[in-house]
Amino acid sequence: MLRTEVLYTMFVLPLPWPFVKRFYLVSVISSTNFQLDIDECKGSNNVCDENANCFNTVGSYNCTCKDGFTGDGHSCSDIDECKGNHSCHVDATCTNTNGSYVCDCQPGFNGNGHNCRADLCNHYKNLSDANRKKSYETPSGSELCDSQLPEEWYRFVGAAGTKMPTSRVSANRCGTKYSGWLDGRYPTVEDGEVYKDVCFSNDAHNNCKSKKKISVKNCGSYFIYKLLHPPLCNSRYCGTD
Ligand SMILES: [Ca+2]
């Protein structure tokens, strides 16, 4: 919007006494050269929506809805990103908010909502067979092998015990010929996921003749193990109380 300014200009003329010593000349100037722009974006002039940005221009203005809103600038409404485009992870929950949205990893997953990773301590399978316990003497001819065990995270429960032993297990125990046991101490919760060697005992060697490196994690009240196929059959991962 342009406003015509009326300018009053004062001139002091050097006229001698007794003439009017001072003569005020009022010049009224009315010309488009003096039209000044009004900033419609300032104060009470702003007619844009409260969720819009106002851009003043010479003789006019523009209203543009802010990010997260849609409309003509004079009326802006929230976009529900959760119904359309959002960057929440597939394992996250999307919650719409005014002007934005929030992503939260679902229970059992950790992360910032845009990247969620399964909380391993809530995603494992149970090993519960009694013949997996280190005290179980393997009947001759019925040796089993964990080469058939899917390579996933496991927890020892029930008749299988509560964890893998950390001292040598004799050969021909826990339902196999080469009995598997964890070499070294267990990690703390703070240690997170750590690599550990599992030794498989046989008759001829007392120590770690055959071994496999696996991942172990302390979940506070129990341990979980990422069990991989053993290096040779018949071998099994043993449990203990
Ligand atoms: Ca929104």
Q: How far is the CA of 86 from the centre of ligand 1 (A)?
A: 10
pLDDT digit string, tens, across residues 166-212? 999 999 999 999 999 999 999 999 999 999 999 999 877 666 778 99
Q: For residue 78, how many C-alpha atoms fall within 13 Å in the half-sphere facing its CB?
A: 11
Tell me, in angstroms, the distance from the centre of ligand 1 to residue 118's CA: 27
Could you give the CA distance from residue 236 to residue 241 in angstroms, rounded to a whole number? 17
Q: How far is the CA of 110 from the centre of ligand 1 (A)?
A: 24
Cβ atoms of 20 and 53 within 8 Å: the answer is: no
The CA distance from 96 to 108, in Å, is 22
Q: How far is the CA of 67 from the centre of ligand 1 (A)?
A: 9
Structural tokens at position 43: 């104060």
Q: CB burial class (10 A; 0-12, 13-18, 19+) of residue 139?
A: exposed
Average pLDDT, the chain: 86
Q: Per-residue pLDDT tens for 67-120? A: 999 999 999 999 999 998 899 999 999 999 999 999 999 998 999 999 999 889
Helix residue spans in the chain (DSSP H): none
Q: How far is the CA of 68 from the centre of ligand 1 (A)?
A: 6
CA distance 49 to 61: 13
- pLDDT band per the 50, 70, 90 thresholds, residue 14: low
Q: How far is the CA of 70 from the centre of ligand 1 (A)?
A: 10
Residue owning tokens 């050969």: 171
Residues 119-171 pLDDT 10s:
899 999 999 999 999 999 999 999 999 999 999 999 999 999 999 999 999 99
